[in-house]
Chain A
């Protein structure tokens, strides 16, 4: 089963954030979309990713968007920053998924779905904060971490789970005292993401509430959004529905509001 060395090795292997991305984010941070776009153009993989993701149907653009300046202009500062962070997280994803039945496209779909729906939620809550907008980008990194740590132990996990319904987060915690979200936090720290982002992600596990009530409220929305997405057929088929434990009591008081916004009936 997963050993401490596996965790240390994973953390050690997290690459530093590329300079181009750091510069792009710094420029987005000060609201200079034009200069940010010029810098971002230097990274062809980033450009390709941005084009791929914003042209997904969920973004709702009638015409294909090709230029980064155009993309940043349409998305605005907060969502542009969120999308660049999505790209950074995407850099950690494996070329071949073994534990979860995902691929590049389905992982991008998950990122896009979470990002757009998170923006709808923040709009509903009247929150306009670029770090809070960007925080959703870090959430799928928990899936990448689970994939990286457990893919060597698929048979063991399957055997264990025929006896007890343990999710990956619980198994990891009981074995190492680390949660998937602790490791996400380490990614955020290494990539110099705002501390607020890590705090929301930690609280969104539903197991590690923040002292800040406002943050906890956001965490509830994020937790429920995650399970809304992980209940979609594509992600259930990918084996993601039970990758962490859904804390149903944690989100009980916001469910009706969530159902209204997401038009669930």
Chain B
């Protein structure tokens, strides 16, 4: 069985009956390893479509979960169960639960450190006070506003006020959690949340590949939310100094917000400043200051020191990139896509109104970025198969467009691997405004291909 990966969560959805007769059939170590390769934060088994299970039916999942936890920090567990199923699972494993239980997948996403949707108000209840605290801490670290209730009465009372909370969490249990540094995207900035003591462990907990990919696809401002940092040692200092050096090559900025030097030598601050790292007291000092934001982030994309151009290796593989895009759009629309023109130049978008875009980066034996620009109506049509109904909900359309571009990325990966060229793909990024896209790519030279299907035009742009 293959996992569906969304918001960095790999989800397996068995259907029907889970018992001793079939427990090894639904999930294999190969399935798990293939999902882990996608750098997911969580691997979960959904119980939404399971009508019957017994302990024998779950044991194989639990063994695989244990195996995952031995070698990675990926969170593992079950989700989408009802109260009866939740109680049964807890009863089966009593004091041996080292996996997590999330009432539904939306609640699981909240605990994923890389989930983009942040700042949610969340009501929490668990009859285990340690669990209540653990959930509140995790959610707070992930940028949400948890509200803990101490008793069931208090919870029942507060939950009546439905409008006061974005999410209500009960019947949820946190097993061993991940220890990676949380990241979120705010406009054109990426915010990392660091806590406690910063030491050599930061080399393991900071997702350097994610950071490098973010640089490659055009992010230029990285903020470390350090309100909860107590101190740092020389190993962490060296790490941040190197990070700043690498960022400078892209003309990117790194800033610390809220870092106190009560227990950290002041000389560290000087060293970090010398490396180009900026310090601010409050997050709003940056995020609410549009002029400063522009100086630090958005406008800097045009001043990349390490301006990279399209190279021969990329051009050689161009037909595969186009094939992957055309095949995906044809698959999603059942219309024939036609290549109209291909030219090497900076991206040219004649009419910016009424268009949306999405990009995905790839790295490995080759690296670069694919950008697709669609008229909004056409993007909606291309996403119909995934959405299943007509919608004007722009958030849903952009979300689905990201999924579509993810499919294009997957197809590119497959086509290149046929030629022994191995690449990984980044998370897709979407742009509701074409100007936001241009801020990232307007100075990059690439191959622009105008494509059309059913007389509707869209644009493919491949750059580095």
Contact = CB atoms under 8 A, between A and B. Distances in A.
A175 to B, nearest CB: 6
Contact of B25 (A3, A155, A237, A242): A237
Contacts of B4: 161-165
A1 B334 contact: yes
Given A175-B334, A241-B26, A246 B407 contact: no
A242 B6 contact: no
Contacts of B339: none
A44 interface: no
Given A242-B13, A246-B16, A251-B51, A232 B406 contact: no
Contacts of B307: none
A192 interface: no
A265 B26 CA distance: 20
B414 A242 contact: no
B410 A159 contact: yes
B388 interface: yes
Contact of A156 (B19, B21, B22, B331): B331
B24 interface: yes
A178 to B, nearest CB: 13
A163 B385 CA distance: 12
A44 to B, nearest CB: 36
Nearest to A251: B51
Given A231-B17, A241-B1, A246 B388 contact: no
Contacts, number: 107
B411 interface: yes
Given A251-B51, A259-B52, A236 B2 contact: no
Most buried by A among B1, B16, B17, B19: B16
Interface in B3-47: 3-6, 11, 13-19, 21-22, 24-26
B386 A164 contact: yes
Contact of B22 (A161, A164, A233): A233
B225 interface: no
A248 interface: yes
A207 to B, nearest CB: 12
A255 interface: yes
Nearest to A241: B15
A155 B15 contact: no
B384 interface: yes
Contacts of B328: 159
Contact of A162 (B18, B19, B410): B410
Contacts of A163: 4-6, 386, 403, 406-407, 410
A171 B385 CA distance: 7
A228 interface: yes
Contacts of A246: 15-16, 49, 51
B355 interface: no
B2 A161 contact: yes
B51 A160 contact: no
B15 A174 contact: no
Contacts of B52: 255, 259, 264
B48 interface: yes
Given A228-B17, A231-B17, A246-B16, A159 B407 contact: yes
A227 interface: yes
A117 B417 CA distance: 46
Interface in A151-176: 153, 155-156, 158-166, 170-171, 174-175
Contacts of A232: 21-22
A159 B384 CA distance: 16
A108 B332 CA distance: 35
A217 B11 CA distance: 32
A203 interface: no
Contact of A174 (B19, B388, B407): B388
Nearest to B389: A174
B26 A236 contact: yes
Interface in A174-202: 174-175
B21 A233 contact: yes
B407 A227 contact: no
Given A159-B407, A163-B403, A236-B25, 7 more contacts: A165-B4, A174-B385, A236-B26, A237-B25, A241-B26, A246-B49, A264-B19
The 8 A-B pairs with the shortest beta carbon distances in the complex, nearest first, are A231-B16, A236-B25, A227-B16, A231-B17, A246-B15, A233-B22, A233-B25, A1-B331
5 contacts: A163-B6, A164-B386, A170-B388, A241-B16, A248-B51
